[in-house]
Amino acid sequence: MMRLTYPPLKLLDRDISILAFNERVLRLAQNPEYPLLERLRFLCIVSSNLDEFFEVRAAPHVDAMRDDEQHTNINVQSYQAIAEAAHALVNKQYQIFNTELMPALADQGVHLVSHGDRTLQQRRWVARYFESDVRPLLVPVALDPSHPFPQVANKSLNFIVLLGGNDAFGRNNNIAIVRVPRALPRLIKLPKNLSTKQQKFISLSSVIRAHLASLFTGREVLSFSQFRVTRHSDLSVDEEDVKNLRTALRKGLVQRNFGEAVRLEVSHGCDEKLAKLLLQQFDLPKQSLYRVQGPVNLARLMLLADLAEGNHLKFRPYEPKLSQQLVPNQSFFTQLKQRDILIHQPFESFESVIDFLHEAVYDPDVLSIQQTIYRTGSDPRMLKLLQEAVRRGKEVMAVVELKARFDEEANINWAETLESVGAQVVYGIVGLKTHAKMLLVMRREDKRLKYYGHISTGNYNPRTARLYTDVSMLTADVQITRDMEYLFRHIASQVKLPRMQKLLVAPFNLHRQMLVKIRAAELAAKAGKTAQIILKMNALTDEALVKGLVNAGRAGVEIDLIVRGACILPIDAPGLDGHIRVRSIIGRILEHSRVFYFKIEQEESMWLSSADWMNRNMMRRVEIAWPIVDSENRARILQECCQMYLQDNQDAWLLNTDGTYVLSAQDLLQPKSKPHELAHAFSAQQQLMQKYTN
């Protein structure tokens, strides 16, 4: 039999794919089914996402542009492609803000009042606020040889001012910088007596703008603009060369605010001379300049979504239910002797995990508690419970990942707090981030030691547990909990990891075993057997895994990929013939669970994991995947996390052959259908909320 050969696989661009994900999020800001303040919230989320994109991904491209680099995958062309996509996204974002959201909110009595639209009474109130609260914190800096351009912190808001006339010493230093103080709220609600029974807000930047001239007595303000610079912020610490990682990271956090500039945002009407001066100051190419028609930092308007009132303007609160597998008011330890317990967040409550830890802390037979800490949020309950466990004489070990991006400071504080009461704190393995989500409890029962564990696809963060989909499992499975014990010991002491019975662990065997599973499906299809793969994850960017999937698809394996964010797999690769389908679900809840399902004939296997299919997860992090062996639990996860999402025709975007995404799946599958012929709209997230509410 002649073997088919194919040209080298051309993968989709990862950075363009990330920006395309944000385009899909931006569409939620236009969804007429969503309340207005929630639409504004999604608009702000896109701004926050773009900040992180530029902070983490842009520096190599900007460097290539500066150096006129042409010989790598990151070059002038790659930068220009990213800049073009980012500019289009930002322009669309401000168009939605100005022409859709703000007019619609004004119709509902929610106003962001500019200086030109304020009444005389409102202007007087603002002037008093400026004099009492704002002016004392403003220190304009006029540029001259003894006052060089000040250090501008990452994402700080500033004004650049072009002045006429001479200063107090007769000199013509005509450029000044005014930093907007971070200590003040960026949004202020006007008193009710000035709001005519409506909700009226003013921005701090508009307050300063209205009184800018008063800061330069005797000078004329000829022109001015807000500006904001984004800097490269991915902390880099040589772990092999530092004696104390925590101390090194604390120093790095200070330096992060002044890393390499990668993006410059200015007001749309910024004078060309001022824009050019700023680009030169920050050594940026012209494509890095973003002129915005509105507030320079839209992410800060998340405050408006928080402060404005009106139930009709926000989602109806969803209250998660107790896990359907849990018996109320019965000991977790008793229940786990009978079966594993799944918790499907946020439809089921993360409070069950808090309750499990609480019972362990106050149970006199519990001897030790071990937990990984990656992103915990601001809720202090788990921290306080671990502290209480120490006070009660239990052995507590916390694996705190100090390098969790943008959570470094919070995690350092956790580590120091736990150490101060006597907990054992370790920082993982040099060169690897500990991203696995594990909680292990050792209990004395009948003079023997019994282990109970919790493992999850998501973080120990009560807040995001209400906003993200994740699946976690409470278990007393002897093999899984023993594997967890071995892994905790390996992380702490760095002894050789014994052979795992059930857990797959990155960077050791998770990547390899996923390739083995894919290859097995490929060989089965080549042998004429039916083979199916369904994968749900946040990102698919590991080249080896992508190539494995493409080979399996070419062999006839039916593959459905539910990938929320970046995906570099080209579904139009020669030989695929439609065997691989990629969809992204973007809805009210952030999709975060990772499910890996393989089926050959009637034989099924399923894994849940903390890991996405990215090279960093597979090779540079400690991650886990665990099997779902109980057939009832496996069927439930397959239905709730996979099949319902494959039926979704409301929040689903399908990856098209040209690398773009189309909303929704039905638009691709039935392009000629008339509206009345289309199936009933189906949102997996909404169906799950209804299911768990009933």
Helix (H, G, I), strand (E, B), or coil: what is residue 185? Answer: coil
Q: pLDDT confidence of 421, banded at 50, 70, 90?
A: very high
pLDDT of residue 238: 46
For 142-187, the pLDDT digits (tens) are 887 666 888 899 999 999 999 998 776 667 778 999 999 999 999 9
Q: How far apart are CA 441 and CA 475, in angstroms?
A: 10
Q: What CATH number does the domain located at 332-500 have?
A: 3.30.870.10
Q: Are 351 and 331 in contact (CB under 8 A)?
A: no
Domains 105-313 and 510-693 share a fold: no
Q: Are 680 and 44 in contact (CB under 8 A)?
A: no
Q: Is 435 noted as a catalytic residue in this protein?
A: yes
Q: pLDDT confidence of 376, banded at 50, 70, 90?
A: confident
pLDDT of residue 36: 98
Q: What CATH number does the domain located at 510-693 have?
A: 3.30.870.10
Q: Are 139 and 153 in contact (CB under 8 A)?
A: no
Q: pLDDT confidence of 264, banded at 50, 70, 90?
A: very high
Determine how many CB atoms are found less than 10 A away from the CB of residue 5: 7
Least confident of 306-310, 678-682, 687-691: 678-682
For 480-535, the pLDDT digits (tens) are 999 999 999 999 988 899 999 999 999 999 999 999 999 999 999 999 999 999 99
Query: What is the average pLDDT across 405-412?
Result: 71
Higher pLDDT, 147 or 331: 331
**Pairing between β-strand 595-600 and β-strand 531-537 as defined by DSSP bridges:** antiparallel
pLDDT of residue 242: 45
Fold entry, domain 105-313? polyphosphate kinase like (3.30.1840)
**374 Cβ neighbours under 8 A, 6+ residues apart:** 401, 404, 407, 411, 434, 435, 437, 459, 460
Least confident of 22-26, 35-39, 409-413, 602-606: 409-413
For 623-657, the pLDDT digits (tens) are 999 999 999 999 999 999 999 999 999 999 999 99
For 270-314, the pLDDT digits (tens) are 999 999 999 999 999 999 999 999 999 899 999 999 999 999 999
Which is nearest to 589 in space by CA: 651, 649, 527? 651
What one-character-per-residue DSSP string does 334-372 give? Answer: HHHTT--EEEEETTB-THHHHHHHHHHHH-TTEEEEEEE
pLDDT of residue 241: 45
For the chain, the domains span 105-313, 332-500, 510-693
Name the catalytic one among 111, 232, 435, 592: 435
DSSP label at residue 179: E
DSSP label at residue 494: -
